[in-house]
Chain A
């Protein structure tokens, strides 16, 4: 069996720490940029224009209907092949791109669902007062939708933290990548349990925070 889990953790904790920071960084970037992009896609998904609706629906369905790992492979191998001019760019960015686009599709659905969950009577009341469409959206609908959107975004972030483990396959320095590093030192099983433990602690803590936020947001109804 070799060394104990604790002695591996004791000896190599900076590696795990760096891996964890990488994981948090990639997940944060993916969800942050994914949220901006997702908001735009959600607007298109809510639009009455059939072309915009169609394009955004295909976007969301393709990205949610295919595995992230496949999307990463396509980004990693196909983009540089198809556009040779991009060859000099660090391939880390292609993997990041896949993470961001994937996240944007999920966020788009979260935002769309949040907006649709607001009672139609709210929009009707605002429009009947003569409020413009944009005032109605930003002063009436969105402030109510955000209560559903924020906790779901938190859950998306938690999901993304687990999803980024796939990026280790492409040598991005995140938590799962520490397994590869330590396997080179003939440590095979200990890092797996340490990695699992770290993921578990992080996701449990974040879930508790999301639950608390959910409760806080719902009291004002």
Chain B
């Protein structure tokens, strides 16, 4: 078990290059159980890459990712077992268009965790109810709005009963009127004690929801702190410049 002193996720001197391009230049961070960490920063700074390294969707060029006290290894077969515990939500939803809403949710639990179908479906219905989509269970995702797709993507990840949820700009691709519903779902999740790492451009949301904010710029965590510290009293000139542009 993870106690309050052991990080749930730790990165140690994380580097990632894409060919000649150095995208992450040494990030060492600790994220503890129950924490809500938001990541802000200019586009192209490496926020998505950092997040995608946490479940090894990107394989770090050097450095370590330690999850629940075990180092993640791209070649090890138990990477899949670890990934089941790390939910991820993408900017473009990535729902499965060929599967009904309910099957989007139950597929992975049934296949990978060997949950009986009825049990998986009962759980899926519960989750759908939680995000107000219970009447869409038998529809295909093409019938859903962007906001509904994203809520589906969130509960699809939750169905695996993860210990942490990673969000990569979950509302950036949504029409403005859809944003609120999705943010509410994430906020409820965060308040229920789920560990969350959220890349976002919604500064108001970040301020309200975070325990800690990381400002990632040019491949490093240039500044981090409580929302109060980072938004009200930023020390780094780059943070100040960034905030003056977005606020």
- When the two chains form their complex, are residues B140 and A135 in contact, meaning their CB atoms are under 8 A apart? no
* Neighbour of A129 across the interface among B92, B98, B112, B140, CB < 8 A: B112
5 contacts between A and B (CB under 8 A): A125-B88, A125-B90, A125-B96, A125-B156, A220-B142
Which of the candidate stretches A28-36, A136-144, A152-160 sits at the interface with the other chain? A136-144
A104-126 interface with B by 8 A CB criterion: 119, 121-122, 124-126
Determine the interface band of chain B, counting residues with CB < 8 A from chain A.
20 to 34
Contact A220 B153 (CB under 8 A): no
Most buried by B among A121, A122, A127, A128: A128
| A3 adjacent to chain B (CB < 8 Å) | no
Chain A residues in the interface with B (C-beta under 8 A): 119, 121-122, 124-132, 135, 139-140, 143-144, 220-221
Q: Given A125-B96, A128-B87, output 8 extra A-B contacts at Cβ < 8 Å.
A: A124-B57, A124-B94, A125-B156, A129-B83, A130-B83, A131-B112, A144-B98, A221-B142
In the complex, which of the residues A124, A125, A132 contacts B112, with contact meaning CB atoms closer than 8 Å? A132
Is the CB–CB distance between B94 and A121 below 8 Å?
Answer: yes
In the complex with contacts A121-B90, A121-B92, A135-B112, A128-B83 CB distance below 8 A:
yes
- Given A127-B57, A130-B80, A119 contacting B94 (CB threshold 8 A): yes
Q: Are A143 and B98 in contact (CB under 8 A)?
A: yes
B107 at the interface (CB under 8 A from A): yes
The majority secondary structure among interface residues of chain A is helix
Residue interface bits B76-116, CB-to-A below 8 A is 1, else 0? 00001111111110101011111000000001100110000
With A221-B97, A221-B142 already in contact, the answer to whether A139 and B57 are too (CB < 8 A) is: no
**How far is it, in angstroms, between the C-alpha of A132 and the C-alpha of B114 when the chains are bound?**
13
The answer to whether B80 touches A131, judged by C-beta atoms less than 8 angstroms apart, is yes
B81/A125 in contact, CB under 8 A: no
Q: Which residues of B contact A221 (CB under 8 A)?
A: 97, 142
Tell me how far the C-beta of A150 lies from the nearest C-beta in chain B, rounded to whole angstroms: 14
* C-alpha gap A126/B97 in the complex (Å): 13
Contact A128 B57 (CB under 8 A): yes
Given A130-B83, A131-B111, A131-B112, answer yes or no on A122-B160 (Cβ-Cβ < 8 Å): no
